[in-house]
Structure 1
Amino acid sequence: MMICPICHHVLMRELNSYTCIHKHSFDIAKSGYVNLWPGNHKGSGDDKEMVKARTLFLNTGHYQLFQQTLIDLTTNLKPSVLADVGCGEGYYTNVLENCLDACDVYGFDVSKSALQHASRQNSRIHYVIASLSDLPLSDESVDVITDVFAPVDAQSFHRVLKQDGFLIKVGPGRQHLLEMKQVLYDKVYENDDAVAEYDGFAHAKRIVKTQQIELTSNLEIRSLFQMTPYYWKSPKQSAGKLKAMDDLPLTTQFCFDIYKRK
C-alpha cells in the first residue's frame, strides 16, 4: 500500500523499518508512526501544547454529535482501506478504526507531536508523517478519504482513491463558534460555507449538523480556543478576555460534504 516518497516504489515492512527495492529505508518510531516526508522535515503542524489542548477538549464529548455523524457516513460506505488526512492527534481516526470491520486505516499528518500521541493510542493504524500533496500510497488503493478541517489536494486525493472512491470533507458551518468570535472581534463575519468544487470529483451530498453546547470551565474554553485559527489571529486584549471566562454558550456547526471520484 505505502510507497517510497523518493522513488515511489512499494515499501515493504522489515522489522522496525520500511524499505523499497532501491534500499531507501524509513525507521518506525518507538511510538509506532513512520516519517515519509521527502527530504528534511523540520517539523510543523500542532505542537505538544496544541495536541494536549485538542485531546483535552475532544475528550469532553462536546463534539460527540459530529463524531457520530462522521462514523455513520464512513461506515455506510463500507471501506476496506481508509485514509484520514490531516489526522492530528488521531481522535477521529481511532474512533473510525474501532467502528470499521476489516478495514486497513492510515492516518497522515505533518505534526510529529500529534502522531506520537496518535500512534500510542492505536497500534493497528498506520500513522505517517507525510505531505498531503504527495500521499505515499499506491495509485487507486483507497476506498474512502476523510478530511476533517484539513486542506484538500484534489490531484493527490484523486490519484490514491479507487475508481468510484469517496472523499468525506468536514468543515465549519456558517455559525460555527459564532459566540467565541463575538468575544474576540468587534465586527463578526459568518464563515463561508459554499460547497467547494474539486477537479476529478463530483459533489454527491451535504449534511449540516448544528448543536448548542456550553463550556462550563476556563480550561475547556482555553483548550477549544487553542484548537482554532483565532488563537493566532486574535487581538491580545480580546484573547485575554476570552481566556479569563469560565462559562461560554456556543453554537457548533459542521458541514459534511461527500464527493465521489470521477
Structure 2
Amino acid sequence: MSLFVCPICGAALEREPGRYRCPAGHSYDVAREGYTHLLPANRKHSKMPGDDKGMAAARSAFLSKDYYAALRDALCRLALDYAPEHPAVLDTGCGEGYYASAVYRALRDAGRMPCMAGTDISKAILRRAAKREKDVEFAVASSYHLPVADRSIDLLLNCFSPLALEEFRRALRPGGTFLYVVPSEKHLWELKQVLYDHPYPNEVKETPYEGFAYAEIRHVEDRIRVLGQEDLHALFQMTPYYWKTPKSGCQRLAALEELAVTISFDIHVFRREA
C-alpha cells in the first residue's frame, strides 16, 4: 500500500515495478536509490531546490554519528505514545531520513505495523533517505502540496522544516497527531558564541494554530562534544547561521578542533481537531 497520491489528478498511486502509476495513467519513475519525484515542474522554484549534494552529504554524515540521538529517541517515544495501531505516518521535510527511519523502526518493533512516507524538496538528500530505509516511501515533493490524500495521516512529523499548516490540517485525520520540532532557547548556544560577538537566545513561545489543539510540549536537551573540523563544519552547514555569519566568526570556528555544545529542542505535540 502507498500513502502517495498523484500530484496531477489526486488519485491514489499504485506501486509497480520501477514506477508509481495512477488510474488515469500518470506515471512516476522510481529512481535506482528507491525514491520517486512527485514535484511538478510548475511548483519548482529553482532547478535544484533544497540541499545540494555537499550539504546533503555533510548533514547525513553528522546525524549518522548520533550527535542528535536525544532528539531521535524523544521522537520515537512520542510516536509510540500517540500513534494508533497500523498508523499512517508522514515525515515532511524528512531530509536524509534519520528521524523517519528511527520512528518507523520503533513503531515496527513495537508491533504497530506502520505505513510510512517521507517528503523533501531535495533530490540529493532523498537519495540518502531511500538508501537508509528501504521500507519507507520517499518522494520529492513540497510541504505546501503534499502528495497524500485528505485526512489520510495519523502521525505527521515536521523537524525544522516549513510550517505548511493548511496542508498539515488537510492531510491529518481528525484526532491525528502533529509533532513539530523547533530549537529551544539555548540550542547551539556555544556555537553561536563562537560565531557572533553578541549572540542572543532563540525565542521560545507557545503558539496555538487553527484546527489544532495542544497535547503537550516535550523539552529535549543534551550536551554533545563535536569532534574535528569536519563535524563542526557539517553542524554549521545544518544551521541558518551558515548563510549569515560574518567572516570573523567563520574564521574562529575554522580554528577549532572540538566544541562542547548544548542541543536543546521543544517538540510541540498537537492533535488535529475534528
Instruction: Return the TM-score normalized by structure 1.
Output: 0.96
Displacement after TM superposition at 1:16 (Å): 1.4
In structure 2, C-alpha distance between the alignment counterparts of 1:215 and 1:120, rounded to whole Å: 25
Displacement after TM superposition at 1:118 (Å): 0.8
Q: In structure 1, what residue type is equivalent to 2:75?
A: L
Name 1:104's counterpart in structure 2. Answer: 115
In structure 2, C-alpha distance between the alignment counterparts of 1:34 and 1:199, rounded to whole Å: 32
Name 1:10's counterpart in structure 2. Answer: 12
Listed as ranges, the gaps of 5+ residues in structure 2 are: none
Paired residue secondary structure (2:190)? helix
Whether 1:130 and 2:135 are equivalent positions in the alignment is no
CA contact (8 A) 2:60 2:128 kept: no
After the TM superposition, which of the residue ranges 12-21 and 63-72 deviates more from structure 2?
12-21
In structure 1, C-alpha distance between the alignment counterparts of 2:131 and 2:206, rounded to whole Å: 35
In structure 1, C-alpha distance between the alignment counterparts of 2:56 and 2:206, rounded to whole Å: 29
Question: Which of 200, 209, 215 matches 2:211?
Answer: 200
CA contact (8 A) 1:155 1:199 kept: no
In structure 2, C-alpha distance between the alignment counterparts of 1:21 and 1:67, rounded to whole Å: 38
Name 2:76's counterpart in structure 1. Answer: 71
Question: Which of 218, 233, 241 matches 2:244?
Answer: 233
CA contact (8 A) 1:13 1:19 kept: yes
CA contact (8 A) 1:111 1:129 kept: yes
Listed as ranges, the gaps of 5+ residues in structure 1 are: none
CA contact (8 A) 2:18 2:29 kept: yes
In structure 1, C-alpha distance between the alignment counterparts of 2:155 and 2:212, rounded to whole Å: 13
In structure 2, C-alpha distance between the alignment counterparts of 1:5 and 1:34, rounded to whole Å: 12
Whether 1:217 and 2:217 are equivalent positions in the alignment is no
In structure 2, C-alpha distance between the alignment counterparts of 1:59 and 1:122, rounded to whole Å: 13
CA contact (8 A) 1:109 1:129 kept: yes
Matches within 5 A, 1:14-163: 14-40=16-42, 41=44, 42-79=47-84, 80-101=87-108, 102-163=113-174
In structure 1, C-alpha distance between the alignment counterparts of 2:252 and 2:268, rounded to whole Å: 35
Displacement after TM superposition at 1:24 (Å): 1.5
In structure 1, C-alpha distance between the alignment counterparts of 2:149 and 2:227, rounded to whole Å: 46
Paired residue secondary structure (2:199)? coil
Q: Identity across aligned pairs (percent)?
A: 37
Q: Deviations over 1:200-242 (max 9, x none)?
A: 1111110112222222322221111111111111112211220
Q: In structure 1, what residue type is equivalent to 2:139?
A: V
After the TM superposition, which of the residue ranges 87-96 and 231-240 deviates more from structure 2?
231-240
In structure 1, C-alpha distance between the alignment counterparts of 2:129 and 2:4, rounded to whole Å: 19
Instruction: Return the TM-score normalized by structure 2.
Output: 0.92
In structure 2, C-alpha distance between the alignment counterparts of 1:65 and 1:57, rounded to whole Å: 14
- Structure 1 vs Structure 2 CA RMSD: 1.3
Change (3 A) 1:196 1:151: farther
In structure 2, C-alpha distance between the alignment counterparts of 1:20 and 1:64, rounded to whole Å: 38
CA contact (8 A) 2:62 2:231 kept: yes
Whether 1:254 and 2:261 are equivalent positions in the alignment is no
After the TM superposition, which of the residue ranges 118-127 and 195-204 deviates more from structure 2?
195-204
CA contact (8 A) 2:185 2:204 kept: yes
In structure 1, C-alpha distance between the alignment counterparts of 2:200 and 2:169, rounded to whole Å: 33
Displacement after TM superposition at 1:26 (Å): 0.9
Q: Deviations over 1:32-76 (max 9, x none)?
A: 101000225422111111111112211222211111111100112
CA contact (8 A) 2:215 2:271 kept: yes
CA contact (8 A) 1:58 1:91 kept: yes
